[in-house]
Amino acid sequence: MTLRFKRIAVKIGSNVLTRADGTLDITRMSALVDQISHLHKKGVEIVMVSSGAVASGRSVMGISKKLDIVEQRQLFSSVGQAKLINHYYELFREHGIVVGQVLTTKENFSSRRLYLNQRNCMRVMLENNVIPIVNENDAVSVSELMFTDNDELSGLIASMMDMQALIILSNIDGIYNGSPTDPESKVIMEIEKGQDVSDFIQSTKSTFGRGGMLTKTTIARKIADQGIDVIIANGKRENMLLQLLDKKVGVVSTHFIASAGEVSSVKKWIAHSEGFAKGEIHVNENAAKALTGDKAVSLLPIGAIKIVGDFEKDDIVKIMDDAGHSLGIGKVQYDSEKAREMLGKKNQKPLVHCDYLYLE
Ligand code: GLU
């Protein structure tokens, strides 16, 4: 077997792990664990992002009319996560592999310090041959500040851990060029940068998870733009993961081809931080042109025309053009008060250095 990738993040969706009645499909879990173990033994570095906590907790506890949606999610995920990780632990133990649980929240991606702390934790695990199994800490996550779904989380993890590929295992074969129920429809095998597939995306949500094809595609594109290959495939099919990783085997799936070129680790973090922006810097037409051109340029005070909001040095800010359209985001070098004083001035240090700019 010639391996296509040496470092991968594998996202396993709730629908792959649950049976039609909502209970955990241990046979499927075991088959996936066999494949991951095989790859691990071949030296592939793997971070797993596994859903299924809420679904499995729900099947244990049953739906209660006395609890609201948030309470149910908290209860189900706390029970279900314990069950899920317990199964994984035992299944991997049969292969002599140790796994560890990482439960995270969106807030852990909000500052560079928390982000690096988290990355370090997973690096230590990998260095010690432990496979991290990540999930959102649904039990304590606040609804307003949750990941859209585990597809989003897996994208952040793949990017944070500098993976070569993110493999999203779902219960469909990939993205179809029509309705998946229409026999004429075919899976789009490869999607290049800039290729618009929005017409094909079904907005139906998954049965047991929060995700859907729409978020999968958006995340996949974003991650592929950072130089990471993203593959959406059917995790219910036999040996899917092994076939995907084998250079010689062609298997039905949708591959978002990674853009060429390195994206620095800081830029990867910034790319995902839009939701945490504390303010805005508006720039004039010349600056907008320079920023969106081919060369890497910094945002200088001379090109800035307006500062919106209150922010501290090192916060994430949005960069807007003079018509108020978003150009991208960046990590700002000055607080908002100082930035206001510097507006329009010549010969000053950049407000946002090009290494810390992520333009759309
Ligand atoms: N974190 C949720 C779970 O483990 C899944 C979220 C999603 O469906 O993507 O149940």
At residue 205, the pLDDT reads 61
Q: What is the pLDDT of residues 83-133, one digit of tens each?
A: 999 999 999 999 999 999 999 999 898 888 899 999 999 999 999 999 999
Q: What is the mean pLDDT of the chain?
A: 91
Quote the ligand 1 centre to 74 CA distance (angstroms).
12
Quote the ligand 1 centre to 42 CA distance (angstroms).
29
At residue 260, the pLDDT reads 82
At residue 263, the pLDDT reads 80
185 versus 44: the higher-pLDDT residue is 44
Distance, CA of 200 to CA of 177 (rounded, Å)? 5
Identify whether residues 48 and 144 lie together within a single domain.
yes
By alpha-carbon position, which residue is closest to atom 2 of ligand 1?
A: 51
Domain boundary among 266, 286, 320: 266
Domain boundary among 266, 300, 334: 266
Q: How many domains does the chain have?
A: 2
At residue 79, the pLDDT reads 97
At residue 341, the pLDDT reads 95
Q: What is the pLDDT of residues 44-93, one digit of tens each?
A: 999 999 999 999 999 999 988 899 989 999 999 999 999 999 999 999 99
Quote the ligand 1 centre to 315 CA distance (angstroms).
29
Identify whether residues 315 and 195 lie together within a single domain.
no
Quote the ligand 1 centre to 148 CA distance (angstroms).
9
Pairing of strands 304-308, 279-283: antiparallel
Q: Does residue 259 sit in helix, strand or coil?
A: coil
Average pLDDT over residues 298-313: 95
At residue 138, the pLDDT reads 94
Give yes or no for residue 202 having a pLDDT over 80: no
Distance, CA of 91 to CA of 161 (rounded, Å)? 25
Identify whether residues 105 and 29 lie together within a single domain.
yes
At residue 210, the pLDDT reads 67
Whether 14 is in the pocket of ligand 1, judged by its Cβ within 6 Å, is yes
% of the chain with per-residue pLDDT over 90: 70
Whether 59 is in the pocket of ligand 1, judged by its Cβ within 6 Å, is no
At residue 293, the pLDDT reads 86
Distance, CA of 142 to CA of 70 (rounded, Å)? 9
Res. 211 pLDDT band, cuts 50 70 90? low
Q: Number of helices and strands (H, E) in the chain?
A: 11, 13
What is the domain-level CATH number for residue 211? 3.40.1160.10
Identify whether residues 290 and 252 lie together within a single domain.
no
Quote the ligand 1 centre to 127 CA distance (angstroms).
27
What's the pTM? 0.86
Give yes or no for residue 218 having a pLDDT over 70: yes
Whether 210 is in the pocket of ligand 1, judged by its Cβ within 6 Å, is yes
Distance, CA of 160 to CA of 97 (rounded, Å)? 23
Identify whether residues 287 and 150 lie together within a single domain.
no
Average pLDDT over residues 147-159: 93
Identify whether residues 314 and 331 lie together within a single domain.
yes
Identify whether residues 179 and 116 lie together within a single domain.
yes
At residue 78, the pLDDT reads 97
Res. 143 pLDDT band, cuts 50 70 90? confident
Give yes or no for residue 230 having a pLDDT over 90: yes
Q: What is the pLDDT of residues 256-266, one digit of tens each?
A: 999 887 788 88
Domain boundary among 242, 266, 290: 266
CA dihedral 206, 165, 270, 297 (to 10 degrees): -130
Domain membership of residue 2 (yes or no) is: no
From the number of C-beta atoms within 10 Å of its C-beta (0-12, 13-18, 19+), residue 57 rates as buried
At residue 104, the pLDDT reads 96
Q: What DSSP string runs through 10-36?
A: EEE-HHHHB-TTSSB-HHHHHHHHHHH
Whether 55 is in the pocket of ligand 1, judged by its Cβ within 6 Å, is yes
Quote the ligand 1 centre to 285 CA distance (angstroms).
43
Identify whether residues 306 and 259 lie together within a single domain.
no
Quote the ligand 1 centre to 14 CA distance (angstroms).
7
Whether 138 is in the pocket of ligand 1, judged by its Cβ within 6 Å, is yes
- Domain hosting 341: range is 275-359
Whether 74 is in the pocket of ligand 1, judged by its Cβ within 6 Å, is no
* 84 CA closest ligand 1 atom index: 4
- The region, left, alpha or beta by phi > 0 then psi within -120 to 50, assigned to residue 249 is beta
CA dihedral 105, 153, 67, 22 (to 10 degrees): -140
Query: To test ligand 1's pocket by mutation, which of 48, 75, 87, 149 has the most ligand atoms within 8 angstroms of CB?
Result: 149
Identify whether residues 316 and 176 lie together within a single domain.
no
Average pLDDT over residues 343-358: 91
* 57 CA closest ligand 1 atom index: 10
CA dihedral 339, 345, 349, 353 (to 10 degrees): 70
Give yes or no for residue 180 having a pLDDT over 80: no
Give yes or no for residue 197 having a pLDDT over 90: no
Identify whether residues 336 and 190 lie together within a single domain.
no
Q: What Rg value do the Cα atoms of the chain yield, rounded?
A: 22
At residue 207, the pLDDT reads 64
At residue 204, the pLDDT reads 64
Helices 150-160/112-127 angle, 10° precision: 80
Instruction: State the amino acid at position 220 in one-letter form.
Output: A
Identify whether residues 74 and 30 lie together within a single domain.
yes
31 versus 216: the higher-pLDDT residue is 31
